[in-house]
């Protein structure tokens, strides 16, 4: 029972730590995609 609770705590804390990092990466990725789309539109126009 103790090992299970420790395991759950580890998963919980890893999510708490990595969730903001992952969201930043996603935002950066979306920003890059948007920038490339804008650049493509400028070159086509």
Q: pLDDT, tens digit, for every residue of 9-44?
A: 999 998 888 888 777 777 777 888 788 887 778 777
How far apart CA 6 and CA 2 sit, in angstroms, is 6
Going by pLDDT thresholds of 50, 70 and 90, the confidence category of residue 45 is: low
Quote the pLDDT of residue 4. Answer: 93
Question: Which is higher by pLDDT, 2 or 26?
Answer: 2
pTM over 0.75: no
Integer Cα distance of 45 and 37 in angstroms: 12
**What pLDDT does residue 18 have?**
85
């Amino acid at each position: 029972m103790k090992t299970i609770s420790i395991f759950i705590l580890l998963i919980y804390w890893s999510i708490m730590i990595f969730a903001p990092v992952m969201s930043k990466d996603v935002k950066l990725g979306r920003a890059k995609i948007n920038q490339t789309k804008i650049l493509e539109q400028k070159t086509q126009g």
